[in-house]
């Protein structure tokens, strides 16, 4: 059953629209994809950062002559990128194992790059750094910032507001390549030198998962959180440790995810952290019935307590693989997350939500090629302009290239004017919880072809309320009476309703009670 609110009297429609304002979800729309580099060889493992002036900086691994690091930038918000410049000075010595991405960071116009380098021999692979003072046109000679007596991988870097560089990385035995520890170093002089290393994984009884990279955030009070996947007899949930402001030492282990994820091998997928003030968000993968799925957790008290796990898309079929999340927070309190999704090949999916909400909206595919080719290794960051910027490895042209997307917009809305929502907008059902029926409302500003489906907690479609019906602009309601496609009553519990329009869709949760 469906009702069209657009045919009511003008007075009634004004009242309806005023009531809808607090419920409106502002959708996120991305610009067309832009290639950073297209070459007849494998380009992979990109990373990205955005300077205070809006300049976008990208690095990646290039395999044309061994494996080397290349750099490009954009000064027009990603419409075009400069030609690639090689960063590493020792040709062909960059090490790229599994998720061992190089990292780039910027502070006050200075660029810093970190990577794993085997110039001293493979079994002495070390973390190296190079910096640029001229916007990436030239780079300093690489120098060791890891443990030169060990095998080192997985650098992760964060620069705090005072310019201190915080670096974590993994250390292994040179003889057996067995994992030993996660280590930390910092630089207070612009990367010219680093402190003695201290151990992040300073605990016993279990150990960090040896091939799942860690991540680090710096809180407003200067305290630090490092998170990683732990391995406790093949139970591989996400844990963290804390370090006080000004200290190089790390405290006790604390648990972030509680899925009891059991897997006999390292899944090579670590957590992704970001924060805005004292709100900390973490994206991570766990196996649900042995299928990798991506989840999100949020803390509003500086990482002391994390909320419930939030599935990035609970309506998807239960056998769909979702992995390798990358997360960013913007100054408006919005949490943005991108991940690899295998429901139709291998695509980069995106969703977002406000920090206080319990489910993602604006779920969409970032790569716009529609080719079904492999897209992977996504990295997403925020700029100080409130927008997000993403890069990934993309096979649409046959070889692995690096592509870019952003939701940056130059449209300025006067503060006295309410923002215009990008539709369709899917509202929360009412009542919720409900029995025996509930109303699902959606809003269109233009002509759209709409499908509305209901799914159970395993992602299986339960009912199809609308199937590719075209609507004009307006506000519409569809009623679900708690029955499946065969007309039988479904069991009480949690369900998800999904509105699909073109290649984008939105999902919300509802509860049917006895």
Q: Is the pLDDT of residue 139 over 90?
A: yes
Any idea what DSSP says for residue 161?
T
Closest CA to 315 of 128, 497, 109: 497
Q: Does a structural domain hold residue 488?
A: yes
**Euclidean distance between CA atoms 421 and 426, whole angstroms:** 11
In this structure, the answer to whether residues 470 and 374 fall within a common structural domain is: no
Q: Does a structural domain hold residue 12?
A: yes
pLDDT above 90 covers a percentage of the chain that reads 71
Q: What is the pLDDT of residues 336-379, one digit of tens each?
A: 999 999 998 899 999 999 888 888 988 999 999 887 788 999 99
16 phi and psi angles, rounded to 5 deg: -60, -45
- The answer to whether 95 touches 153, Cβ cutoff 8 Å, is yes
Length of the chain: 514
In this structure, the answer to whether residues 16 and 42 fall within a common structural domain is: no
Q: Does a structural domain hold residue 50?
A: yes
Q: Does a structural domain hold residue 414?
A: no
Q: Could you say which of 406, 436, 457 is where a domain stops?
A: 406
In this structure, the answer to whether residues 130 and 196 fall within a common structural domain is: yes
**Euclidean distance between CA atoms 180 and 170, whole angstroms:** 8
**Euclidean distance between CA atoms 496 and 412, whole angstroms:** 35
Per-residue pLDDT at 19: 31
Per-residue pLDDT at 412: 44
- The answer to whether 186 touches 248, Cβ cutoff 8 Å, is yes
Q: Could you say which of 406, 440, 463 is where a domain stops?
A: 406
Q: Does a structural domain hold residue 180?
A: yes
Cα three-residue angle 162-167-168, rounded to 5 degrees: 145
Please state the rounded mean pLDDT for residues 181-202: 96
> Can you read off the two tokens belonging to residue 101?
């991405």
In this structure, the answer to whether residues 94 and 10 fall within a common structural domain is: no
3-class DSSP state of 113: strand
3-class DSSP state of 10: helix
In this structure, the answer to whether residues 137 and 274 fall within a common structural domain is: yes
Instruction: Concatenate the DSSP letters of all residues of 230-273 into one string.
Output: EEBTTB--EEEEEE-TT-------EE---S--B-SS------EE
Mean pLDDT of the chain: 89
Q: Does a structural domain hold residue 483?
A: yes
In this structure, the answer to whether residues 21 and 54 fall within a common structural domain is: no
Per-residue pLDDT at 503: 63
Lowest mean pLDDT across 93-102, 149-158, 242-251, 503-512 = 503-512
Q: What confidence category does residue 514 fall into, taking pLDDT thresholds of 50, 70 and 90? A: confident
Q: Domain of 354: which CATH number?
A: 2.120.10.10
Q: What is the dihedral of CA 24, 25, 26, 30, to 10 degrees?
A: -150
Lowest mean pLDDT across 204-218, 296-310, 431-445 = 431-445
In this structure, the answer to whether residues 153 and 203 fall within a common structural domain is: yes
Q: Does a structural domain hold residue 416?
A: no
Please state the rounded mean pLDDT for residues 313-338: 93
Q: What is the pLDDT of residues 381-409, one digit of tens each?
A: 999 888 999 999 999 999 999 999 999 98
Q: Does a structural domain hold residue 417?
A: no
Closest CA to 50 of 88, 76, 27: 76
Per-residue pLDDT at 444: 87
Q: How many domains does the chain have?
A: 2
Q: Is the pLDDT of residue 18 over 60?
A: no
- The answer to whether 220 touches 277, Cβ cutoff 8 Å, is yes
In this structure, the answer to whether residues 173 and 286 fall within a common structural domain is: yes
**Euclidean distance between CA atoms 282 and 289, whole angstroms:** 22
441 HSE (CA, 13 A, CB side): 19
In this structure, the answer to whether residues 132 and 9 fall within a common structural domain is: no
Q: What confidence category does residue 229 fall into, taking pLDDT thresholds of 50, 70 and 90? A: very high
In this structure, the answer to whether residues 61 and 174 fall within a common structural domain is: yes
408 phi and psi angles, rounded to 5 deg: -55, 140
Q: Is 99 left (phi over 0), alpha (psi -120 to 50) or beta?
A: alpha
**Euclidean distance between CA atoms 366 and 307, whole angstroms:** 27
In this structure, the answer to whether residues 372 and 487 fall within a common structural domain is: no
Can you say how many angstroms the Cα of residue 287 is from the centroid of all Cα atoms in its chain? 18
In this structure, the answer to whether residues 370 and 451 fall within a common structural domain is: no
Q: Could you say which of 377, 406, 435 is where a domain stops?
A: 406
Q: What confidence category does residue 328 fall into, taking pLDDT thresholds of 50, 70 and 90? A: very high
400 HSE (CA, 13 A, CB side): 18
Range(s) of the domain holding residue 39: 34-406
Q: What confidence category does residue 423 fall into, taking pLDDT thresholds of 50, 70 and 90? A: low
**Euclidean distance between CA atoms 53 and 69, whole angstroms:** 24
Q: Give the number of other Cβ atoms within 10 Å of residue 486's Cβ.
A: 6
Q: Is the pLDDT of residue 182 over 90?
A: yes
> Can you read off the two tokens belonging to residue 164?
């201190």
Per-residue pLDDT at 473: 85
Q: Is the pLDDT of residue 500 over 90?
A: no
Q: Is the pLDDT of residue 222 over 80?
A: yes
Per-residue pLDDT at 460: 83
Q: Domain of 505: which CATH number?
A: 2.60.40.1930
């Amino acid at each position: 059953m469906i009702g069209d609110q657009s045919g009511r009297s003008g007075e009634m429609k004004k009242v309806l629209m005023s009531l809808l304002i607090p419920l409106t979800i502002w959708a996120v729309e991305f610009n067309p994809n832009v290639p950073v580099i297209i070459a007849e060889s494998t380009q992979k493992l990109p990373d990205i950062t955005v300077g205070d002036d809006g300049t976008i900086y990208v690095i990646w691994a290039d395999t044309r002559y061994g494996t080397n690091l290349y750099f490009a930038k954009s000064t027009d918000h990603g419409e075009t990128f400069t030609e690639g410049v090689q960063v590493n000075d020792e040709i062909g010595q960059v090490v790229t194992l599994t998720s061992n991405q190089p990292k780039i960071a910027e502070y006050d116009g200075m660029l810093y790059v970190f990577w794993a380098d085997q110039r001293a021999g493979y079994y002495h692979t070390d973390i190296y750094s190079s910096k640029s003072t001229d916007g990436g046109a030239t780079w300093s000679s690489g120098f060791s910032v890891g443990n030169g007596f060990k095998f080192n991988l997985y650098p992760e870097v964060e620069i705090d507001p005072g310019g201190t560089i915080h670096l974590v990385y993994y250390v292994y035995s040179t003889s057996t390549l067995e994992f030993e520890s996660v280590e930390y170093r910092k630089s207070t002089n612009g990367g010219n030198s680093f402190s003695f290393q201290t151990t992040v994984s300073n605990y016993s009884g279990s150990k960090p998962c040896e091939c799942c990279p860690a991540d680090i955030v710096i809180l407003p009070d200067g305290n630090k959180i490092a998170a990683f996947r732990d391995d406790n007899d093949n139970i591989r949930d996400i844990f963290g440790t804390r370090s006080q402001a000004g200290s190089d030492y790390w405290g006790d282990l604390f648990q972030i995810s509680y899925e009891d994820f059991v897997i006999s091998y390292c899944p090579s997928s670590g957590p992704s952290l970001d924060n805005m003030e004292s709100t900390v968000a973490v994206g991570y993968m766990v196996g649900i019935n042995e299928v990798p799925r991506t989840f999100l957790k949020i803390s509003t008290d500086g990482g002391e307590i994390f909320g419930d796990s939030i599935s990035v898309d609970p309506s998807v079929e239960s056998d769909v693989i979702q992995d390798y999340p990358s997360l960013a927070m913007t100054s408006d309190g919005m949490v943005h997350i991108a991940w690899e999704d295998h429901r139709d090949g291998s695509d980069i999916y995106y969703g977002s939500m406000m920090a206080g909400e319990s489910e993602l909206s604006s779920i969409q595919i970032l790569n716009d090629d529609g080719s079904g080719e492999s897209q992977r290794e996504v990295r997403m960051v925020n700029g100080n302009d409130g927008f997000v910027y993403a890069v990934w490895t993309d096979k649409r042209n046959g070889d692995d290239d690096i592509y870019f997307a952003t939701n940056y917009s130059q449209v300025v809305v006067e503060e006295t004017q309410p923002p215009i929502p990008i539709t369709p907008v899917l509202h929360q059902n009412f009542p919720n919880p409900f029995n025996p029926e509930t109303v699902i409302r959606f809003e269109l500003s233009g002509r759209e072809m709409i499908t509305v489906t209901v799914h159970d907690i395993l992602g299986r479609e339960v009912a199809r309320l609308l199937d590719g019906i075209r609507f004009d602009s307006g506000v519409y309601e569809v009623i679900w009476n708690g029955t499946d496609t065969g007309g039988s009553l479904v069991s009480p519990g949690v369900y998800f309703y999904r509105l699909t329009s073109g290649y984008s869709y939105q999902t919300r949760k509802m509860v049917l009670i006895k």
